[in-house]
Every structure is written in structure tokens, then in C-alpha cells.
Amino acid sequence: MMQFDYDILFIGAGPAGYVGAIRASQLGLKTAVVERDKLGGVCLNIGCIPSKALIEQANRYAALEELGKYGITYNEAGFDYGKVQASSRSAADKLSKGVDFLLKKNKVDVFSASARLVDKNTVSITEAEGKGEKRLSAFAIVIATGSRPREIPGFAFDEERVLSSTGILMMKALPKKLIILGAGAIGMEFAYIMNRFGVEVQVVEMLDRILPMEDSDVSGAVKAVFEKRGVRFYTGMKAAGLGKTDNGTLQLSIAPAQGESNQVASQATVLEGDKILVSTGRSPNTEGLNAASLGIHMDRGYITVHDYYETDAQGIFAVGDVVAGEPQLAHVASAQAELVAERVAYLLGKGKNPHRSRIERRFVPQAVYCEPEVASFGAKEEELKKKGAAFKSATFPFRAIGKAVATGHPEGFVKVLTDPATGEILGASIVGPGATDLIHELLLASQNELTVEEIADMIHAHPTLSEGIKEGALSALDRAIHL
């Protein structure tokens, strides 16, 4: 066998790259990562982590209103959103340093540089300052370069008035009015944050409902709560143009997403705001990698992969947001990278072959961290109906859960879809407090082929929010106690 500098080399040190590198090192592989920016990638530095810090502060700020019920008054005069934003940066910085520690602890070599593929076993790296170029060789190379916010024509990011998710995370002062394009997870999380801090929020979504990847019952429930708080939604509408008034206020023209052009023009509506957040998806970071020249098939910038996430170039793998047709989620990226590390270890005679060649999409949890929280996995009711599949839908409301009522968070429900013949859990959705944590009980059961009856028979502590899982399972068996 040829001699290489490393057994495995990851290009990118986000949730895919650093997790895969640690797993590879655990398996005895000589491992390196090349990262041109901060360790931890988008998720940790300008995505999942700082946004959750802002959500927590928004929760605390909103809770101040509750104090009035008990005769407590407070003064908002000293409120400084800049300090809120700074706390989110502090959380991100701490965790990025934690990733650095973990990589050192696991003896992973880290190169602060950009990388370009030379051949299937070699990368050329250039230091961030552009001070020099060197080549590194590896038995296996893993592309884990992640993604960035997608720009749409006419809405180029200036990060002052037209914001990406990065720009709004870096924003140190609140606007009076914010327009959001896109009502997916990112758009809805920032709609929640800004609304709770007193910003007037308007959300535009091309599809006919918000959170279009979720169950329609979920979308309806979340929309109702947000509208009660004053958020305005324009669904089935698209952005038609962006302009400014004489005083600098942004004007967004929106029109029906469907219909003839003359009809669309006649139904145009103009929204005004101080800033606009564009959250209409993400684009893969694959430019400059030289991947196509090595025979790697690209699809609109995304990389096509086969079993074990290997590309058309043998020995080069791709994981995370760059992979065509896969969910762009940090936990998916991490799981894919671990699988690749285990596959490479097996090929080098240092471990067992992974028991699966790809991540099973039906067992991938989705989560939205607004309030109420949203989480789901597996089939949705709409898709089962389209397939003509036999299923049973059961829903149990949070207003019938003791702890949800006692803590003042009765909005939402647990929805479970099952096979009426076998009791198999086909999918589940939760809207409500703790949903993003609660979903994993149902997911674990589904992945291990437990039936809904086995969940129903398990004792759940009282009072807990997890009783909603038990009652949801009981509902699927027509045995709900508290409804």
C-alpha cells in the first residue's frame, strides 16, 4: 500500500468534519482537518448555537410580561440588545474553543487553511493569510465544507439592510420593523426572537403554509400562536421586487406565487420594513475545490454520493450540507461523518464495517426552536394519504398535560402516526414545550421497532411533559386517560 501523510483528511471542521475526525482518531486513524475559518463551522459559530442563545434570551425577556400578573413592575429603559447579542457570541466562542480542545485531546492535526483537491489522495492547502502552499496526502479525503445562506436575485446581502442568517446574528441593534423571506426553520426562529423583543415582524412564504416541511396540523398550530402575538404572515406569496422610500424605508413588493403574470402584477402588495432577512435556503460551499475535474459528479454545486458517502472518485467522500438530496442539518452531517470514519477504518483493517451504508432519512429528527417548539420524524399525514397507505393518526393536546398547564405552556400537541395492523410507529410530530427533546423517545422506539403499545405500557413520571408521549401512544390505542 502507498504511504500517505494521513489515513483520513477532512476538508472543513464543522459538525461533520470535527466529529468525523474525532471518531476517526478514536478508531486509530492518523487524522487531519483543514479549516479556513473558525473550528465548529457555521452551526457552532454563526448558526445553531448563537441563535439558540438568542432564543433563550428572548424567552427571558418575554417572561417579564408575566410579572405584571403578580403586581411586579420593571423598567425597560436600560435594555440593550447589543448585550444580548454579545452573550450569544460568547456562547459560540466558548464552544469553538471547546472543539479546539477536543481535536487536540484526540491528537487530530489541524491546519488553518483553505484546501483544493489535486488528485484522489492529495490536497493542496493555502494558509488563511496566503503565506504559502503545501500538499498533504491521505488514504481517504472527506469533503465537509458545509454551506452558506443562499442569495436570490435582487436581494444581494449587504448585511446592513438586506440580511442573511449570519447578518442578523451579528446585528447589535433591533429594527422597528423586520420583513422575513421564508417561513422555514430559520425564518420562524428569527421571527420568534425578533417578535419577543418587540420588533414588528412580517413573514413571506412562497408555499401555501409556514413550516412547509412539517405536518400541516403543526403549521396551523404554530401560525395561530404567532399571529396571536402580532406576527403577520403572507403565505403563497413571492418577492417581486425591493425598493426604498425617500426616507430610506425598505419596500418589498410581493405577489401571488402562482398565477399568470398579469394577474400576479394586479395582486401585488407592498410591505415596509427597516431590514429584511432572506432565509430561503442554503448553497453548498464547493467552489474552488476542483472536485469536478477529478470526475466527481456535481448537481447544481452539490456532490452526488454513493454507498458510505463515497463520490465517483474512489477514496474521496462527501458529507453534510454539500451532499445532494440530503437534509442540511448539523446532526445529519455528524452522523454521516462518523459513518465515513468507520468505513475508512474498516478499509484499513482497523475496525468493523458500519452496519448501514447510508443514514436512514425516516429516522432523522427535525427541530424548530421557536416557542412553541416543533419536532418531528418519519412520515407526515399528507404523504401517507398521497401514497394511499393504511395509517392511524392520534393526537393528544398539551392542555391536558398537568405540567404543561401548571407551568403556563399549554399550547401544542403530540401527534403519532401508526400502522393500524401492527402498531408500528410511522412518524410523529410534537408542538409544545420541550418538543425538541421529547421527540427522541418516540424516535428511539421507532428505530428499534417498538410498538406504540410498548410505549403506552411504560410508566412515565408524573408530572412531566413526557406524559404527553404516553398519552399520545394511548390515544393511538383509543385508550387515552386524560382526554
Sequence-separated (6 or more) residues with CB below 8 Å from residue 351: 27, 28, 342, 345
- Which residues partner with 376 through β-bridges? 366, 429
Nearest by Cα to 479 from 459, 460, 452: 452
Q: Catalogue the active-site residues.
A: 462
DSSP letters for 160-174: SSEE-HHHHHH--S-
Element at 24 (helix H, strand E): helix 17-26
How many beta carbons lie within 10 A of that of residue 235, not counting itself?
A: 17
> In 3-state terms, what secondary structure has residue 367?
strand
Nearest by Cα to 54 from 237, 189, 165: 189
Nearest by Cα to 412 from 440, 431, 426: 431
At 318, list the grid cell. Answer: 462527501
**What's 150's DSSP letter?**
P
At 427, list the grid cell. Answer: 412518524
Angle at 140 between CA 136 and CA 145, to 5 degrees: 80
Which position has the grid cell 454520493?
305
